[in-house]
């Protein structure tokens, strides 16, 4: 399988920065295109998020940005399908037990329903 399009899911959590760095490194090594997806609760958050994502890239980098409004895992999967992603990179807090039951796991939901392979980047301990 050849990975030509790497979709990186980001949010405001520190683990997302680690996932973004990992995803960009992977994409560069593979010679793949990069797109970032961020799911927001409202349209007004979109501009703020897009600006923050753009700051994370080096000036010579080019990447698409998808700002989705709605439920995190569903919108990440929707963006992956729409763009034709070959790989999704997403961060995970690595919660277990009660925390996982209460907060759920976006990364797990994406892995179960993604149209392509998923790389999960864990938070530093």
pLDDT at site 42: 72
Cα 38 to Cα 30: distance, rounded to the nearest angstrom:
23
Give, for all 125 residues of the chain, the pLDDT tens digit. Answer: 789 999 999 887 788 888 888 998 999 999 999 998 988 777 666 667 666 766 766 655 667 878 777 888 999 999 999 999 999 999 887 655 544 444 458 888 999 999 999 999 987 76
pLDDT at site 57: 63
Give residue limits of the domains in the chain: 5-122
pLDDT at site 103: 44
Strand pairing of 33-40 and 64-69? parallel
Which helix (H) or strand (E) segment is 6 a member of? strand 5-9
Read off the tokens for 68.
């989705």
5-122 topology per CATH: Rossmann fold (3.40.50)
């Amino acid at each position: 399988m050849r990975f030509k399009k790497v979709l990186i899911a980001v949010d405001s959590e520190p683990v997302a920065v680690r996932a973004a760095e990992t995803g960009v490194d992977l994409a560069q090594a593979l010679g793949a295109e990069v797109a970032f997806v961020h799911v927001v609760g409202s349209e007004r958050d979109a501009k703020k998020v897009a600006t923050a994502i753009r700051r994370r890239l080096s000036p010579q980098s080019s990447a698409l940005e998808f700002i989705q409004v709605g439920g995190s895992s569903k919108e990440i999967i929707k963006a992956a399908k729409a763009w034709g992603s070959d790989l999704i990179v997403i961060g995970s807090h690595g919660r277990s037990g009660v925390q996982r039951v209460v907060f759920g796991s976006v990364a797990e939901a994406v892995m179960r329903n993604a149209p392509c392979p998923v790389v999960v980047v864990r938070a530093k301990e």
